[in-house]
């Protein structure tokens, strides 16, 4: 849908920020531009919506030369999101979500419909639309921020380091949300980042830039297993390189059978089952095996004196992946979020398996990452982190 041909940008003063860029992006693709600071990512991205005019070269949108398109029409089809700016405190959630539609002069009815449809996608109640940001939790506000990027219903969304300033957990959560919404709504997203983990996690294809040039444009897997040159190899870091090719491994290959319980059972039943099966977590399912939540030793202890019902005691907010998900993605999530395990579900959210931290740590560390990644493990001694020798290279 987007074709970039021999695109260059030379700024006044002679700086060549983008140097003969050529690439094609398909509809519905999530593409990450990644590179060190000053490599031309922002310049390249801004030429796509003509915030910056190219010095030479052509960009085609569905076959049509962008330079010949009416800028208003262009802004209708291409959205732009800069670093996650907070919500406007004096505006309601509804007004915040529909900020761009308002600029595009949509009717009130259409704006309302959009806000109502979007808030549903992040599982917040409709009446929140009339609240002000400060009446929502921080996490809820950030989810609204992501919705705002999607509200104008543009086909292409450009995002320039939108999550750069956030703490790792919030960032991880919003990445998941963004990816989920992008897939569900079929958006084409071009996303600038300097974080390789973020690029690998989100992107269908990654465009690695250096000195204004595209060094490699390929899927995360191909980049990790076949870096184009030494620069890419360094950039992605040896701990991420895929040595052999076990990358095709999916969660289905390693998952085990989870121990489940249905929600009409009692807490005492749950405890008995845990003792009998020697597990610390039970997954709560309905009659059709749909995943509803989980209970573990902590939730049981907390609920013990207040309820005997599993549906009240269980954690409903359960993090899961779909079968077919690449193992590497799941590993990252487990480690990053410090999860004990991740249930695996099918398209209908029926529980089909469980990937545990233990079975992952055993097999994946070695096969996928080699045995190099020990510096992040919490047990390594502190003195080592004080030696500045390595840090100077950053
Ligand atoms: P990135 O987003 O990858 O950090 P940029 O696209 O912002 O890179 O910048 C690429 C290069 O162009 C950098 O060397 C930067 O200093 C230079 N540059 C960016 N904007 C301007 C400008 N308006 N005028 C002159 N040089 C610029
Ligand atoms: Mg930039």
Query: In 3D, which of 251, 247, 258 has the Cα closest to residue 291?
Result: 258
Confidence of residue 373 (pLDDT cuts 50, 70, 90): very low
Check if 2-243 and 251-392 are the same fold.
Answer: no
Backbone φ and ψ of 56, nearest 5°: -155, 165
| Encoded tokens for 380 | 């390594």
Residue 10 exposed, middle or buried by CB count within 10 Å (0-12, 13-18, 19+):
middle
Q: What is the mean pLDDT of residues 342-349?
A: 92
Neighbours of ion ligand 2 (CB under 5 A): 42
Residue 72 exposed, middle or buried by CB count within 10 Å (0-12, 13-18, 19+):
exposed
Angstrom distance (rounded) from CA 268 to CA 295: 12
Angstrom distance (rounded) from CA 327 to CA 330: 5
Would you tell me how many other CB atoms lie within 10 Å of the CB of residue 298?
11
Q: Let me know: does 160 contact 90? Beta carbons within 8 Å.
A: no
Q: Let me know: does 236 contact 248? Beta carbons within 8 Å.
A: no
Where in the chain are the domains?
2-243, 251-392
Beta bridge partners of 107: none
Q: What is the pLDDT of residue 217?
A: 97
Kindly report the protein residue whose alpha carbon is nearest to atom 13 of ligand 1. Answer: 38
What pTM does this model have? Answer: 0.65
How far is the centre of ligand 1, averaged over its atoms, from the C-alpha of 16 (Å)?
A: 9
Atom of ligand 1 nearest to the CA of 192: 2
Instruction: Give the model confidence (pLDDT) of 200-257 as tens digits.
Output: 999 999 999 999 999 999 999 899 989 999 999 988 887 776 654 445 578 888 888 9
> Which of the four CATH numbers 3.40.50.300, 3.30.1330.180, 3.30.1330.20, 3.40.50.2000 does domain 2-243 have?
3.40.50.300
Residues belonging to the chain = 394
Sign of the alpha-carbon dihedral angle for 187, 83, 15, 210: negative
- Ligand 1: which residues within 6 Å by Cβ? 11, 13, 15, 17, 35, 37-43
Atom of ligand 1 nearest to the CA of 43: 6
Instruction: Give the model confidence (pLDDT) of 77-130 as tens digits.
Output: 888 876 656 788 899 999 999 988 888 889 999 999 999 999 998 889 999 999
Instruction: Give the model confidence (pLDDT) of 138-153 as tens digits.
Output: 888 888 988 888 898 8
| Fold that domain 251-392 belongs to in CATH | CBS-domain (3.10.580)
Confidence of residue 53 (pLDDT cuts 50, 70, 90): very high
């Amino acid at each position: 849908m987007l074709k970039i041909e021999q695109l260059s940008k030379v700024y006044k003063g002679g700086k060549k920020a983008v140097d003969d860029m050529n690439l094609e992006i398909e509809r519905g693709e999530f593409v990450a531009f990644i590179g060190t600071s000053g490599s031309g990512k922002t310049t390249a991205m801004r030429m796509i919506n003509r915030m910056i005019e190219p010095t030479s070269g052509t960009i085609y949108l569905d076959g049509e030369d962008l330079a010949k398109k009416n800028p208003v029409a262009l802004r209708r089809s291409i959205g732009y999101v800069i670093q996650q700016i907070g919500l406007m405190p004096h505006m309601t959630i509804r007004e915040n979500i529909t900020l761009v539609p308002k600029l595009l002069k949509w009717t009130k009815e259409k704006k309302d419909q959009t806000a109502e449809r979007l808030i549903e996608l992040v599982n917040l109640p409709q009446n929140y639309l009339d609240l002000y940001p400060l009446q929502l939790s921080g996490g809820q506000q950030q989810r609204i921020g992501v919705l705002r990027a999607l509200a104008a219903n543009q086909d292409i969304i450009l995002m320039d380091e939108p999550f750069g300033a956030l703490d790792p957990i919030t960032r991880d959560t919003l990445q998941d949300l963004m990816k989920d919404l992008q897939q569900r709504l079929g958006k084409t997203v071009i996303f600038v980042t300097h974080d390789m983990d973020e690029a690998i996690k989100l992107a269908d294809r990654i465009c690695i830039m250096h000195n204004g040039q595209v060094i490699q444009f390929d899927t995360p897997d191909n980049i990790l297993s076949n870096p184009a040159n030494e620069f890419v190899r360094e950039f992605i870091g040896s701990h991420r390189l895929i040595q052999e090719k076990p990358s095709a491994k999916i969660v289905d290959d390693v998952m085990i059978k989870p121990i489940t319980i249905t929600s009409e059972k009692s807490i005492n039943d749950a405890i008995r089952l845990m003792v009998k099966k020697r597990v610390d977590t039970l997954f709560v399912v309905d009659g059709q095996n749909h995943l509803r939540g989980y209970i573990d030793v902590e939730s049981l202890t907390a609920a013990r004196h207040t309820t005997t019902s599993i549906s009240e005691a269980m954690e409903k907010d359960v993090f899961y992946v779909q079968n077919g998900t690449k193992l590497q993605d799941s590993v990252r999530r487990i480690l990053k979020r410090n999860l004990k395990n991740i249930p695996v579900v099918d398209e209908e959210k029926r529980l089909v398996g469980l990937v545990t931290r233990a079975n992952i740590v055993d097999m994946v560390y070695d096969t996928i990452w080699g045995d190099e990644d020990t510096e992040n493990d919490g047990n390594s001694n502190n003195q080592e982190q004080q030696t500045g020798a390595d840090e100077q290279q950053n």
